[in-house]
Structure 1
Amino acid sequence: MGSVVRESARYVCSQSRHVKIVGEGISRVVAGLTEEELRKLSSPASFDADLHFVDTSSKAAEALTVQYLLVVDALNFCFWPDPELEYAQLSLGIKRALQQDPGVLHASRLAVAQGADVRALLGWKRDLPQQEERARLLREVGQGLLRHFDGAAANLVAAAGGSAMSLVELLAAHFPGFRDHAIYKGRQVFFYKRAQIFVGDVYGALQGEGLGAFHDIHELTMFADYRVPVVLRVMGILRFSAELDSKIGAGQELPPGGEEELEIRAATISAVEDLKEALSNSGRCQAAGAAVPITIQLDWFLWEVGEREREAHPPAHHTLTIYY
């Protein structure tokens, strides 16, 4: 799945009219990374455990952590219609709900979830954006787990046999809401943002051990969303057309599956791949005593920059979608 996402991104970039990757910007970023940043980049510890429920004290606790991550990533999309809602409210809200009621994420309860249940999971006092669609996706997860994996996301992960790519394929096969693809200029293209981020979250939360041990974790791409493109623009790695820049600045929604939206996502994927390659070729990681980071570690780093600087950064693009 990682290869098909990369191929899709390269194809879109080769045809793109609205978004360009700036090689000079990549070189500047590589040269500007500190040794501390380079060492942090290559560690599974760069996953933000404080934002999530993570318990590795036993196999049962590890399984509950995986169940939590699947629910979070089933709902991990489209926060912007509520200006006070961010990813932290999702991850921390579900963490609190789970700590208060260890059975709240049981597949049998997910399978009958309604909009009010989604709101209760997050502890949100008003309706969520796309609340009923989020409830439908929770039901899909609960029903799929019961039908195919004895109700447990841990069984889903185990069925992948230690392969990140097989786990992405299993998610897409059994849970239609994770099938993140579109048609660009007559060709089907694939992104699989939420499917890939679930695998990355399992790897990061479990520190690459136990259920989080994937022999091909390096095959995952970055997770094409709305926050990282802003960071890459500020860094001088992505350049938008004047028309697209004007639309985003004015808060105009970009239609899902439209040329502009797909070009933003594709260029983000390819730019992060280019950044990883430039880091490898520079020798800076090796000089700092660090390994070259895998793609998802670069994604975590860039996303954290975006979260930290979101008040100072220009606005992100707005697309009403279930994919990110």
Structure 2
Amino acid sequence: MPELHFCDGGPLTAQYLLVVDSLNFCFWPDAELQYEHLAGGVKCLQGPRCISAARLAEIDGPGVQQLLGWHRELPEQDERARLLREVGAGLLQHFQGQAAELVTAAGQSAVALVQLLTAHFPGFRDHSIYKGRQVFFYKRAQIFVGDVYGAFAGKGLGCFHDVDQLTMFADYRVPVVLRLMGLLQYSPELQQQVEGMQELASGSEAEIELRAASIVAVELLKDAANAQLLQPPQLLSIQLDWWLWHEGERMRAQHPPHHRTMTIYY
């Protein structure tokens, strides 16, 4: 994991990552707030009690602000507190208060871990209805699995025999990079809305299509890259996502605007 993150190679790392990924959404309403403030803020806390399930189960909005060390109210601050309380209560009820127990319960299956997260923590149930059909993205659930995999280098708690089943993490940063690469093309209406920094409604057809198209584009990119590799290991969708996201972060000042959606899912 990058130096930005806490990583001690043990159970506390899983606890840290679950807290971070419970809060990993919708930074854009505060122009100064970025992912690194979330990851770095939680990392700087003193002692494991700061992110214990018992403390999370009782946290309020100002407590979340204190957790991150942010100097003003966070976007969706009360919702972030509610989600952390949900995580704390769920860990206490089902997993002895430990995210590591949650990971272990999945039996080294990335898919099973996503299922456990969405079964016990409703805030991770990232889904929409598209033309009468339910569509599941599970961005934050998948990114937790990917973060555990990355933090433990695919070993120990991070060993998943089916990590290749994870998709990219459908957010608002990666589509910008995919569009600049020519892998996504916006309709004139969507382009006007995104570049005009108008909010794209959560659950709207355009928002769902943009997220779904991003997943398909990364799958096609992965398949094309892997076709050029003569031997394993082959690229994973989550590895491509990591690269695309970091590229988007690195060049965000030069890139065109990303789409803006108020949501707890990304």
Same fold (TM over 0.5): yes
SS in 2 for 1:103: helix
Relative to the length of structure 2, the TM-score reads: 0.98
Q: Which residue of 2 aligns with 1:80?
A: 28
CA deviation vs aligned residue, 1:159-205 (integer Å, no higher than 9, x gap): 00000000000000000000000100111111000000000000000
- Structure 1 residue aligned with 2:83, among 128, 131, 137? 137
Q: Percent identity?
A: 63
CA distance in 1, matches of 2:256, 2:197: 11
Q: Which residue of 1 aligns with 2:146?
A: 200
Normalized per residue, which structure has more helix? Answer: 1
Q: In the alignment, does 2:262 pair up with 1:320?
A: yes
CA deviation vs aligned residue, 1:9-50 (integer Å, no higher than 9, x gap): xxxxxxxxxxxxxxxxxxxxxxxxxxxxxxxxxxxxxxx421
Q: Which runs of 4+ in 1 moved over 6 A?
A: none
**Greater C-alpha Rg:** 1
Q: Which residue of 2 aligns with 1:95?
A: 43
Q: Which residue of 2 aligns with 1:176?
A: 122
- Structure 1 residue aligned with 2:251, among 309, 314, 319? 309
CA distance in 2, matches of 1:300, 1:72: 16
Q: Which residue of 2 aligns with 1:277?
A: 223
CA distance in 1, matches of 2:35, 2:164: 24
1:280 is displaced (CA, Å) by 1.8
1:290 is displaced (CA, Å) by 6.8
1:279 is displaced (CA, Å) by 1.0
How do 1:10-29 and structure 2 match up within 5 A?
none
Relative to the length of structure 1, the TM-score reads: 0.81
Structure of higher RCO (CA pairs closer than 8 Å, 6+ residues apart)? 1
CA deviation vs aligned residue, 1:125-161 (integer Å, no higher than 9, x gap): 1000000000000000000000000100000000000
How do 1:224-235 and structure 2 match up within 5 A?
224-235=170-181
Q: In the alignment, does 2:35 pair up with 1:50?
A: no
CA deviation vs aligned residue, 1:67-93 (integer Å, no higher than 9, x gap): 000000000000000000010000001
CA deviation vs aligned residue, 1:200-256 (integer Å, no higher than 9, x gap): 000000100101000000000000000000000111110000110001111100000
CA distance in 1, matches of 2:195, 2:47: 42
How do 1:240-251 and structure 2 match up within 5 A?
240-251=186-197
Q: Which residue of 2 aligns with 1:257?
A: 203
SS in 2 for 1:321: coil
CA distance in 2, matches of 1:308, 1:276: 21
